[in-house]
Amino acid sequence: MISSEKIKWQEVKGWAETHSVRSLVSYPLSKTDCVELSNYAKENSLTILPVGSSYTFGDMILNKDNMILNTCRMNKILSWDNTSGIMIVEPGVKVADVLGISLIENWTLCSIPGGLEVTIAGAVSNNIHGKDSWKVGNFGDHVIKMKLLTSSGKTIDVERSQNKDLFKAVVGGMGLIGIILEITLQLKKIPSAYVKLSSISTKNISESLNKLRESLKENDFSIAWIDAFSKNSTLGRGYVTSAKWIKKEGKIDEKRLSKSLRMSKRIFDILPAKPIWYILRPFYNSTIFKILNKFIYHRNRWGDGNKGSGKVILFTEFNFMHNKIPNINHVQRPYGFIEVQFLFPIVNGLEAITECLSICQEYGYEPFLCAVKMHKADDYMISFSGDGYSFNVDIPLRNVKLQKAKLIANLLFQIAVKYNGKIYLAKDELLSQELFNKIYPNHKKFLKIKNEIDPYGLYSSDLYKRLFHSN
């Protein structure tokens, strides 16, 4: 008999909060719990979706009328070797938990995004990326092996060197192969926990991309912030911010590190987030952000941005900008928003991003806060990777009919197909199965492995039903 503490019906949303579904949510504490809950699901003809902190935007973390197995409470660091940099963790361990231990001893976790609350199993399942992915690859490249609970109840070791195809399906596999019980990570040795910043302004999208590529030669992290509202010869102007690891003598300020690893309850540690997002909702529109983008661009060009070059700060203070703007998605309530993140090959990235920006301006849906990052290719089956640029477009649904948002998204999807680009599935909820099949040609190989490991069809999600079911 499963207790109500372990399982209950709840309304569940993706991070973009466009809609909610009813699911039977469970919170296992151990492998034994996972086996018990899996048996319960099979006995009651339910499917299971393993999730972590639920920062995925769309329907990848939704499983309507079925079970969600949230592994956040399986959060022990099982071992840490500060000589080899190898760490073994349970699935619910968060990025912040790892860095709180490793940075003190000059080791870091690579390929991590701007959110501290991401779980390690979630990072594996989405094969996440960061501002360093162009150099060190996506997150899966830093995983040595995993333990996976399958739908038959068996636990199997998934290793890069032993069962390559299965490894390449689980990494980026969106929790559809099995329940990750344990992950062995390879961390990277660094000279200290500090980075040195640099920033340079750019006049248009061409210069933004050129400066972004140039910045890779001397740095470990790089990102271009672009003004999606600027037009004509200044289209895509902005600035490139970079950072590189440096050697800094003396003991790390552990109190400062601890603070940088905690999610703030205040926006930029000043304004209380909950009431501020509520107050700002009526003003969260393109007119305000057009002014804000212009202000940010000129401030960076003439003032604080360039003055910040050469500044030395903790890596965590540089990388985790989301920490300073907690719960920013709440400003979009109650409507939510659609986000599309592309990855375009370098060879046609300029043309592709230019077309995307032009369509956004034509329809009046310029991305409010827009970033471009560089990536490198890998061979995981359903991986958002490639030698190219990633670029995001968000479409707020306030005062917008979903049908119009779908129209705009579909125009953008066609650009992805035209330029051999990809759509990041962790942020998608509108891609059609036809376009998915074109963008991710390895989906059949992925599905074959899933069916071999999960012949019961136990693991599923709303995204899986949308993109895979008739394949």
Average of per-residue pLDDT across 37-54: 95
- Whether residue 76 is predicted with pLDDT greater than 60 in this model: the reply is yes
CB 447 within 8 A of CB 428: no
pLDDT of 4 over the 80 cut: no
Which pLDDT band holds residue 308 (cuts at 50, 70, 90)? low
Higher-confidence residue of 245 and 324: namely 245
Please state, in angstroms and as integers, the Cα–Cα distance from residue 22 to each residue in 17, 426, 469, following that order. Answer: 14, 20, 21
Residue 55 has pLDDT above 60, yes or no: yes
Residue, of 116 and 197, whose pLDDT is higher: 197
Angstrom distance (rounded) from CA 27 to CA 44: 18
Q: Which pLDDT value is given to residue 2? A: 67
pLDDT of 304 over the 60 cut: no
What is the per-residue pLDDT for 470? 66
* pTM summary value: 0.94
pLDDT at 305 over 70: no
Confidence band, pLDDT 50/70/90 cuts, at residue 370: very high
**Cβ 227 vs Cβ 297: under 8 Å:** yes
- pLDDT score, position 22: 97
Mean pLDDT of the chain: 92
Half-sphere exposure of 302 (CA within 13 A, CB side): 6
Three-state SS sequence of 403-455 = HHHHHHHHHHHHHHHHCCCEECHHHCCCCCHHHHHHHCCCHHHHHHHHHHHCC
The answer, yes or no, to whether residue 299 has pLDDT greater than 90, is no
Would you say 228 and 367 are in contact if contact means Cβ atoms under 8 Å apart? yes
Question: What are the tokens at 2?
Answer: 């499963």
Span 420-455, pLDDT tens digits: 999 999 999 999 999 999 999 999 999 999 999 999
Tell me what pLDDT residue 3 has: 63
Structure confidence at residue 303 (pLDDT): 65
| Cβ atoms of residues 124 and 206 within 8 Å | no
Predicted local confidence at residue 471, as pLDDT: 66
Tell me if 18 sits within 8 A of 337, measured CB to CB. yes
pLDDT at 288: 85
Question: Strand locations in 73-152, DSSP E?
Answer: 77-81, 86-89, 107-108, 143-149
The Cα 143–Cα 120 span in angstroms is 10
Return the percentage of the chain with pLDDT > 70, whole number: 97
Check pLDDT > 90 for residue 268: no
Buried b / exposed e along 254-264 (16+ C-beta atoms within 10 A): eeebeebbeeb
Say if residues 267 and 219 touch (Cβ distance below 8 Å). no
At 279, the amino acid letter reads: I
Tens digits of residue pLDDT in 322-358: 777 878 888 888 999 999 999 999 999 999 999 999 9
Q: What is the pLDDT of residues 159-186, one digit of tens each?
A: 998 889 999 999 999 999 999 999 999 9
Phi, psi of 20 (to 5 degrees): -125, 160
Residue 468 has pLDDT above 60, yes or no: yes
Q: How far apart are CA 205 and CA 242, in angstroms?
A: 17
Closest CA to 186 of 89, 87, 258: 87
Category of 253 on φ-ψ map: left (φ > 0), alpha (ψ -120 to 50) or beta: beta
